[in-house]
């Protein structure tokens, strides 16, 4: 096989999100071309606590299904690992 094409990888990733992740969530038809992410910032334990509070609120309002991606750094990674 030759080198991978970025456009091909992106297409496969989007298809996996649309078909599998959103399918499991029961959201197959939700804005097929719109993908959203949740970013948890860093800053040590204060950031971890803030992000945990954010996650509690998202869970309380049943909003986790709105996100297709999760990104975190430093203290935000503590909260992301918990998720």
Predicted TM-score of the model (pTM): 0.66
Count of CB atoms situated within 10 Å of the CB of 11: 11
Q: Give per-residue pLDDT as tens, 3-51.
A: 778 888 888 888 787 777 666 666 665 666 677 889 998 888 999 999 9
DSSP of 48-65, one letter per residue?
HHHHHHHHHHHHHTT-GG
Q: Give per-residue pLDDT as tens, 39-83.
A: 998 888 999 999 999 999 999 998 887 888 889 999 889 888 887
Torsion, Cα of 83, 74, 38, 28 (10° steps)? -50
HSE, side-chain direction, 13 A CA sphere, residue 72: 20
Count of CB atoms situated within 10 Å of the CB of 73: 13
Give whole-number Cα distances, 52 to 23, 33, 37, 74, in Å. 27, 29, 16, 14
């Amino acid at each position: 096989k030759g080198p991978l094409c970025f456009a091909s990888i992106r297409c496969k990733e989007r298809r996996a999100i649309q078909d599998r992740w959103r399918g499991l969530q029961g959201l197959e038809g939700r804005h097929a071309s719109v993908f959203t992410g949740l970013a948890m910032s860093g800053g040590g334990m204060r950031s971890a606590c803030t992000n945990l509070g954010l996650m509690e609120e998202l869970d309380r309002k049943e909003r986790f299904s709105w996100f297709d991606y999760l990104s975190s750094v430093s203290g935000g990674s503590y909260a992301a690992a918990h998720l």
